[in-house]
Amino acid sequence: MIELQDLKPFILKLAADAGDVLLSHAGRVHEVHRKDFQDVVTDVDRAVEQLIIQRILAQFPAHGIMAEESGTVRPDAEYLWVIDPLDGSAHFARNIPMYSVNIALQHHGKTVLAVINQPTTRQLFFAAAGSGATVNGVPMHVSGVTKLSDAFVYIELPEQKFAAQPSIKKNFSARMDVVEKLVAACTQVETYRIGAFGQCLVAAGAFDAWVDLSGSSRTWDQAASLLIAKEAGAEIIDLDPSEGDAIRVMVTNGKLTKELLTIVRQ
């Protein structure tokens, strides 16, 4: 088995270099393609993904790859890299400076190493299983806020992103009612539409909870950020049963879970 700490310099540099490529292309996207109902991909997504894949396979040719644009290679390999090269493609295409590079390493299906690079805020989040989480090399931990009335909560609003996704019309009113109740109960409720970054901000204590009301989250988006949140002391609650690649969770500082669940699971 690979020593995780031996891989730390590799994965950090990989994410940092990928983020530099994103910044170098910001405001200069040449191709934007709609690959699903409201899901887009740019030429930069593909270029960054190929950079990441080539670096990984050059170093670890026997490893598997699960990449958002290129699909999966050797899914049964002992080690599997899960890559979302540009989380926030629609933002990037419109020059909205809110997007990230998400990379996770799984060992027999369990995420053991994770990095999220938010290049526009110069935040590099990292975690290794059982070793805690850091941002720019500094240890981080969830907040100590104990009352929802004092909380900053990051939400993902309902959206119809994929054609095969259950229609948001079925539960749109109920989920927006949750938003209304959260706004009334919390100090502040915000949304930036980048779930992995939101979970990392909970891990860093900037937000006290992250609530997914979108219905569009996928496992490859959050493989890295969920480990980072867990290693920073967050509590992760499944809000819906897993179905294929779909995932819907809530991430909290562990002290607000009960109060939040009374609203979210109304």
Alpha-carbon distance of 99 to 19, in angstroms, equals: 10
Which is more confident, 110 or 43?
110
* pLDDT bucket at 240, cuts 50 / 70 / 90: confident
Q: Supply the CATH classification number for the domain 148-264.
A: 3.40.190.80
The stretch 193-216 carries a mean pLDDT of: 92
Q: Residue 131: count other Cβ atoms within 10 Å of its Cβ.
A: 14
**Positive or negative CA dihedral for 165, 169, 173, 174?**
negative
Q: Which of 105, 82, 132, 131 is nearest to 1 (CA)?
A: 105
Which residues are CB-contacts of 186 (< 8 A; sequence separation ≥ 6)?
A: 148, 149, 151, 152, 153
Q: Which of 79, 80, 125 is nearest to 102 (CA)?
A: 125
Domain coordinates in residue numbering, the chain? 4-140, 148-264
Helix, strand or coil, per DSSP, at residue 255: coil
In the chain, the amino acid numbered 74 is R
Q: Which of 252, 121, 98 is nearest to 186 (CA)?
A: 252
CATH of 4-140, one of 3.30.540.10, 3.40.710.10, 3.40.30.10, 1.10.10.10: 3.30.540.10
The stretch 197-216 carries a mean pLDDT of: 92
Decide if 4-140 and 148-264 have a common fold: no
Q: Is the pLDDT of residue 86 over 50?
A: yes
pTM of the entire structure?
0.91
Alpha-carbon distance of 35 to 44, in angstroms, equals: 15
What's the pLDDT tens digit per position in 42-74?
Answer: 778 788 889 999 999 999 999 999 987 777 889
* pLDDT bucket at 186, cuts 50 / 70 / 90: very high
Which residues are CB-contacts of 23 (< 8 A; sequence separation ≥ 6)?
A: 119, 120
- Four-point Cα dihedral 18, 23, 26, 32, nearest 10: 10
What's the pLDDT tens digit per position in 122-134?
Answer: 999 999 999 999 9
Asked if 203 and 125 count as a contact pair (C-beta separation under 8 A), the reply is: yes
